[in-house]
């Protein structure tokens, strides 16, 4: 499994920026109030970041100590980390799109809306960084046997396992 690419995160953030800007534009054209995220959303994103790090930490500890860990636990940790990094990029971009629209208006934006969007962007960036760190925690060290060709003499083939026809 390859690590999450920074390029993918940037593309998602750019697409989400456009979506956030477009959402506020459509709401304004329809005569409705622009979208302002709740101040609880940044707290939720920070809790997800803490959860991703706390789930990945035992995997890191077992990799460093050489202890065996349940592969499903490690898979869950890396999956949570990858999903969290994608969510962080999307939410940061979405918040940036909302903020750009708000600041591009001829009237001064309300301070509460600006603070909410800045908090959303900041916590989403923290989430993305924490998730990338958590994903790094789940990286296995390079296996020295991978560089040498394997001796296939002792390995049972498909026919020996009963799989040959």
Angle CA 12–15–21, to nearest 5: 135
Positive/negative CA dihedral, 66, 67, 68, 73: negative
Question: What is the arithmetic mean of pLDDT over 42-64?
Answer: 92
How many whole angstroms separate alpha carbon 32 and alpha carbon 158?
Answer: 65
Mean pLDDT of 110-135: 93
Average pLDDT, the chain: 86
Q: Is the pLDDT of residue 58 over 80?
A: yes
**pLDDT tens digits along 85-109:** 999 999 999 999 999 999 998 888 8
Residue 69 banded pLDDT, cuts 50, 70, 90: confident
pLDDT at residue 51 in the model: 96
pLDDT score, position 71 = 80
User: In terms of residues, how long is the chain?
Assistant: 165
Residue 103: strand, helix, or coil: helix
140-145: average pLDDT: 63
Distance CA 50, CA 53 (A): 5
Mean pLDDT of 105-125: 90
pLDDT for the residue 55: 93
| pTM to 2 decimal places | 0.80
Q: Give how far Cα 74 sits from Cα of 20, 29, 48, 52, 69, Å.
A: 34, 48, 17, 12, 7
Average pLDDT over residues 55-83: 86
CA 26 to chain centre: 28
pLDDT score, position 146: 55
pLDDT-based confidence at residue 148 (cuts at 50, 70, 90): low
pLDDT of residue 160: 46
Residues 6+ apart with CB under 8 A from 144: none
Angle between helices 111-137 and 40-65 (to 10 degrees): 10
CA 5 to chain centre: 10
Phi and psi dihedrals of 104, rounded to 5? -85, -5
Q: Which residue has the tokens 């020295």?
A: 144
CA-based nearest residue to 99, from 9, 21, 38:
21
Q: Residue 145 — very low, low, confident or very high, per pLDDT cuts 50/70/90?
A: low
> For residue 110, is pLDDT > 70?
yes
pLDDT score recorded for residue 155: 53
């Amino acid at each position: 499994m390859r690590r999450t690419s920074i390029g993918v995160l940037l593309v998602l953030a750019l697409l989400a920026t456009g979506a956030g800007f477009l959402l506020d534009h459509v709401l304004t054209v329809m005569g409705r109030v622009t979208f302002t995220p709740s101040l609880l959303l940044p707290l939720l994103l920070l809790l997800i970041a803490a959860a991703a790090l706390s789930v990945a930490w035992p995997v890191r500890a077992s990799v460093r100590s050489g202890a065996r860990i349940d592969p499903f636990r490690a898979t869950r940790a890396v999956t949570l980390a990858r999903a969290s990094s994608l969510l962080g990029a999307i939410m940061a971009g979405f918040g940036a799109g909302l903020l750009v629209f708000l600041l591009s208006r001829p009237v001064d934006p309300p301070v509460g809306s600006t603070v909410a969007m800045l908090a959303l962007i900041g916590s989403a960036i923290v989430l993305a960084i924490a998730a990338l760190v958590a994903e790094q925690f789940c990286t296995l060290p390079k296996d020295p046997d991978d560089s040498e060709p394997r001796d296939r003499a002792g390995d049972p083939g498909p026919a020996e396992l009963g799989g040959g026809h």
